[in-house]
Amino acid sequence: MTVVLWALYPVVWLLGPAGVGVLLPATEVLVFVYLDVVAKAGFVVLAVNGLAAAGSVGEGAPAADEAPASTAD
């Protein structure tokens, strides 16, 4: 999702006054603001999911201050 949104920035620029001129300057700014907000929200979702996945990697492993379990009888 984030990559798709980032790919839209050049498209909006090309459609704006600096490019072809299809979009009005105010419309271009509004679209950029919308893309910024949605892309940041999507990145936050990815970051939180990555953090949750990274936190679950170490579950089940003994902590550094714990002695390893003995397997000898």
C-alpha dist (Å) from residue 17 to 25, 28, 33, 37: 6, 8, 16, 22
CB-count burial class (<10 Å; 0-12, 13-18, 19+) for 32: middle
Q: What is the pLDDT of residue 24?
A: 96
3-class secondary-structure state, position 17: coil
DSSP state of 1: -
Q: What is the pLDDT of residue 29?
A: 96
Q: How many Å apart are CA 50 and CA 36, to the nearest integer?
A: 21
CB atoms within 10 A of CB 16: 19
- pLDDT tens column, 13-71: 999 999 999 999 999 999 999 999 988 887 788 888 887 777 666 565 556 666 666 66
Is the model more confident about 12 or about 5?
Answer: 12
Is the model more confident about 43 or about 12?
Answer: 12
